[in-house]
Amino acid sequence: MTGYSFSKPTSHPESRFPINSREVFIPVGNTGHLISLMDLSQISVKDFENLSGKKMKFADKVKFKLGQRELRKKINDDGTFNSKKFENYFEASQKGLLTGISWAGLALGLFLSLIGVLIAYLITSKEGNRSMIKWAWIGAIISLIIWGAVLI
């Protein structure tokens, strides 16, 4: 007796997107105050000066108002962002710090030091993955620090 089975997933994992601008806070000035992007897009210049603790010049006020206008264009009426750039930025920031590491480049630099950096230059094309070269340099520096500590 032979049986075949097929199941189609009925629901997708829930995502935190679209992100609401009322839930994204940024620091203002050196005072430690936080303000949501929605509030930032609607706050007056005088209130922003009071919140940040700094007096703005005329040119800064004009730049602030233009920035507010651009921010308001990117926020829908319900508070969500209508630009994928914001969502991509917040999605990338939630992934963590170790996502941009080229592990191959780091290994080349750690284990082969400066020769590994040269190999990284040779195997990447001119318009290719430059992060491998960067991480090969970082690995080589770490390797030199380790060897310096061992020899001293």
User: What are 31-50's pLDDT values in tens digits?
Assistant: 778 888 888 889 999 998 88
pLDDT of residue 103: 83
- The last residue of a domain, from among 95, 111, 134: 95
- Residues 6 or more apart whose CB falls under 8 angstroms from that of 40 comprise 26, 48, 68, 71
- The last residue of a domain, from among 54, 72, 95: 95
Q: Does residue 112 form part of some domain?
A: yes
Rounded Cα distance, 152 and 147, in Å? 9
Domain extent at residue 49? 25-95
Rounded Cα distance, 147 and 106, in Å? 16
Residue 102 in this model has a pLDDT that exceeds 60: yes
Residue 135 in this model has a pLDDT that exceeds 80: yes
For range 100-121, the mean pLDDT: 86
Residue 12 in this model has a pLDDT that exceeds 60: no
- The last residue of a domain, from among 95, 112, 138: 95
Residues 35 and 86 in one domain: yes
Question: What total of structural domains would you count in the chain?
Answer: 2
Residues 75 and 130 in one domain: no
What global pTM score does this model have? 0.48
Rounded Cα distance, 140 and 145, in Å? 9
